[in-house]
């Protein structure tokens, strides 16, 4: 029986699991029910598994012969979004929703694990099944720090994302940078408070903040090559309590994103402008950065193998595209920093249906026909890397 036929038999089970996970979403590092589901599923397949990174899961399928090791990853966390879909399996938790497809990723990888476990006698090498918590806030780094790439050492990693910008029946993979690095900043500008009628006796942090917001935009247009994508966004501003009072401080928050190798220097340019703008206005500042995730760049060789697997899944190489590059971040980058890796976008928009709502929207959903495609892509990529044909 072919992989496609076997997965087709599992389709009702795959959809039921996805819907169960969708109805019971859990935020990052709170995926206790999901973790128990995954551990139970792997145990039933006789795949040794253990909890790690608080609510994550690592399973290890060892083949009948020695060989290389590939890591397959799915993320499990939901978002703090209140679902507005009228579905029989809508979220049962107020204010929490699977609005990004992670419920589908977890279900697909468990289905893939079932098919791969049924072929363990023909596998040379090992497959690590990584069910990762808290993708929305860089949980992959925790799993790397706790040793996921070791014992046995991982030779390659593969991950995927259901993608509503692409129609069902397509898969997108390309080498090089595909998802942006995201660095989050918090900037506090400190002036001198006072009466709004005597502005000359104060140092206005709001005016200083406005100048900073304007000035740093020049980094994108004057200090970064126009062919290198970079975005500086201010997304939060907190200041003041009264219409007659000049506040002491303003706190700004936002992100710096870049989609090219070596974009870290933007942080230095950002602080240079902040420092000199504040000095010009006689204000002080405090600036901190936190890395949300690094640049995600696909390895050329692993990408080539995954594209071959994608063509086999779809039965048509023309449906395997190389178009998607996005300023959104993806913490699979932590695995790609550790080992050669590839990350795919699996089309999940029903071509005959309505235009879907975007990821992270309260009415987000996806075409469940994409689940079989993603599950088979996991299977074929793993066996292709380990040198095991169908």
Q: Which residues contact 266 (CB under 8 A, 6 or more apart)?
A: 183, 219, 224, 230, 232, 256, 258
Q: Tokens 């936190």 belong to which residue?
A: 290
- Could you give the 3-state DSSP secondary structure of residue 26? coil
Q: Is 275 annotated as a binding residue?
A: no
Residue among 230, 226, 274, 235 at smallest CA distance from 256: 230
- Helices 32-44, 102-118: axis angle to 10 degrees equals 10
Instruction: Give the CA angle between residues 117, 121, 122 to the nearest 5°.
Output: 100
Q: Tokens 């020049």 belong to which residue?
A: 218
Label residues 235-263 b or e (16+ Cβ within 10 Å = b): eeeebeeeeeebbbbbbbebbbbbbbeeb
Q: Is 360 annotated as a binding residue?
A: yes
β-pairing, 181-190 with 284-293?
A: antiparallel
Q: Is 265 annotated as a binding residue?
A: no
| Gap between the Cα atoms of 240 and 3, Å rounded | 62
Q: Is 359 annotated as a binding residue?
A: no
| Gap between the Cα atoms of 388 and 375, Å rounded | 17
CB 349 within 8 A of CB 165: yes
| Gap between the Cα atoms of 341 and 296, Å rounded | 9
Q: Is 102 annotated as a binding residue?
A: yes
Catalytic center residues: 77, 135
| Gap between the Cα atoms of 30 and 137, Å rounded | 13
| Gap between the Cα atoms of 6 and 21, Å rounded | 22
CB 81 within 8 A of CB 99: yes
Can you spell out the DSSP letters for 153-216? TP-EEEEEEEEEEEETT-EE--SEEEE-EEEEEEEEEE-B-EEGGGGGGSB-HHHHHHHHHHHH
Binding site feature residues for Mn(2+)? 100, 102, 136, 161, 360
């Amino acid at each position: 029986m072919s992989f496609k036929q076997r997965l087709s038999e599992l389709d009702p089970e795959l959809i039921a699991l996805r819907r169960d996970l969708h109805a019971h979403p859990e935020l990052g590092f709170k995926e206790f029910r999901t973790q128990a589901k995954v551990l139970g599923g792997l145990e039933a397949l006789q795949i040794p598994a253990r909890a790690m990174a608080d609510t994550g899961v690592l399973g290890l399928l060892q083949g009948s012969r020695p060989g290389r090791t590939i890591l397959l990853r799915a993320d499990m966390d939901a978002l703090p979004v209140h679902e507005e879909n009228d579905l029989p399996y809508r979220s049962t938790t107020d204010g929490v929703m699977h609005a990004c497809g992670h419920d589908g990723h977890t279900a697909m990888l468990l289905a893939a694990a079932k098919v791969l476990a049924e072929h363990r006698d023909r596998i040379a090498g090992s497959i690590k099944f990584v069910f990762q918590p808290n993708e929305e806030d860089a949980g992959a780094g925790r799993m790397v720090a706790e040793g996921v790439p070791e014992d046995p050492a991982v030779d390659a990693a593969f991950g995927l994302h259901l993608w509503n910008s692409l129609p069902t029946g397509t898969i997108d993979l390309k080498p090089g940078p595909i998802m942006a690095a995201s660095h989050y900043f918090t900037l506090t500008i400190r002036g001198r408070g006072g009466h709004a009628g005597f502005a000359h006796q104060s140092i206005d942090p709001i005016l200083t903040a406005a100048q900073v917001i304007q000035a740093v935009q020049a980094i994108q247009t004057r200090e970064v090559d126009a062919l290198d994508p970079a975005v500086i966004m201010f997304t939060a501003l907190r200041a003041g309590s009264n219409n007659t009072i000049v506040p002491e401080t303003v706190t700004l928050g936002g992100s710096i994103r870049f989609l090219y190798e070596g974009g870290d220097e933007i942080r230095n340019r950002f602080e240079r402008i902040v420092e000199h703008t504040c000095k010009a206005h006689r204000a002080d500042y405090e600036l901190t950065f936190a890395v949300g995730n690094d640049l995600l760049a696909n390895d050329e060789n692993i990408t080539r193998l995954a594209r071959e697997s994608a063509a086999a899944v779809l039965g048509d190489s023309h449906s395997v595209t190389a178009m998607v590059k996005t300023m959104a971040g993806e913490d699979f980058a932590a695995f790609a920093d550790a080992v050669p890796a590839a990350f795919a976008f699996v089309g999940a928009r029903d071509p005959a249906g309505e235009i879907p709502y975007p990821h992270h929207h309260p009415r987000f959903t996806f075409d469940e026909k994409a689940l079989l495609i993603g599950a088979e892509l996991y299977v074929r990529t793993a066996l292709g890397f380990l040198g095991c044909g169908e």
